[in-house]
Amino acid sequence: MFCNMSVAKKSVIIFFTLVVACGESPKKGDIIDKNPLLELEGFWNRIGTIQTVNGVPVDTILITESETPKLRQIKVFYNGHIAWMNNDYNPSNPWTGGTGMYGKYKINSMESITESISHGTGGSVNWIHTYKDSLGVNYRDVNLGISLNGNYHSLNVPPVFEGMEGIDDTQNPTAYMELWEKMSEINSETKADGVWKRVYEIQYVNGIPVDTVSVPSDGTLDVHFRKNGRFLYQVDNTGISEPGDDLHWGFGGYGQYDLINEKSIMEYHEFVSGRTDSVIQNPPKTEGQAIELEFYNDDLFKQVQLDSVGVKLRGVVYERVQ
């Protein structure tokens, strides 16, 4: 059986999309031979969309050959936590930057996962919080079919995302499959790797700390993922803002980092989500930001942003999320 492929594809992509998009499920032993949670751990880059009609895959469109070839969407699975964000910048949107989400996930079976989305930035803010507020719940569950094959996986996305703001219609039909490719590990694991939540903020004046403020989760939720040289974070400000405020749309970022020594790293943003005054579309490892690290223990550390001459600008204390 052959699928209606829109473009010629590299052999590995042809093999994977034929297996998934044509409805021929990989054999159990070919998908995974150990805990599926371990297979999902890490960063993933969305490379395409498998369109479906009445639940049947009919065509595969690579993002690079679509109407939005510069669209980027990155997703990270880490220790039961999940986050994703895109660079779908649109100056007509009130948040102007990309869209992102944060939550937790669980493995239901070899073919099914549930994402429990609790926070977001940009176009996902109203989608998440209107639902949570109307039902008095803390998260929004999304059940997804999943197929894994080596460094690729597809997610069968239900119509629950229909109408979400900040998602290009050409990439988000009513029912579709997302095609993802696993991203390589850039660096070996560091002490800073993990899923972290901001618990304190330290204010500096002329490089001198002057005040420390606690950050309650019901006000601002700042969750930061770092793993093997990549980072992704989401800052949800809905607890301290009103709809219509710039702050309401939150802020997020994705990029890479280098370990300079045990007490410092360099972060390089590639794109951002939420409310932003400037469009960031940086190639990898350009426009770096120096960050000083101080670990209190394995589960608590302080990071301080430095300017170009080493003056301390802003301090944040992060606690490991279990």
112: Cβ contacts below 8 Å, ≥ 6 apart: 143, 144, 145, 146
| Torsion-angle region of 39 (φ positive above 0: left; ψ -120 to 50: alpha; else: beta) | alpha
Q: What is the pTM of this model?
A: 0.85
Q: What is the pLDDT of residue 59?
A: 86
Q: What is the pLDDT of residue 147?
A: 85
**The length of the chain, given as a count of residues:** 322
User: What three-state secondary structure class fits 64?
Assistant: helix
CB 31 within 8 A of CB 149: yes
Token representation of residue 289: 């930001």
CB 114 within 8 A of CB 143: yes
- Catalogue all structural domains in the chain, each as residue range(s) with its CATH number: 11-182 (2.40.128.280), 194-320 (2.40.128)
List average pLDDT for each run of 10 residues in the chain, which is 322 residues long.
39 39 40 60 94 78 93 96 95 91 93 94 92 91 87 77 52 69 94 96 92 86 97 96 92 95 93 88 93 96 92 95 90
DSSP notation for 231-264: EEEEEE-GGG--TTSGGGG-EEEEEEEEEEETTE
Residue type, 45: N
2: Cβ contacts below 8 Å, ≥ 6 apart: 22
CB 127 within 8 A of CB 246: no
C-alpha–C-alpha distance, residues 107 and 114, integer Å: 7
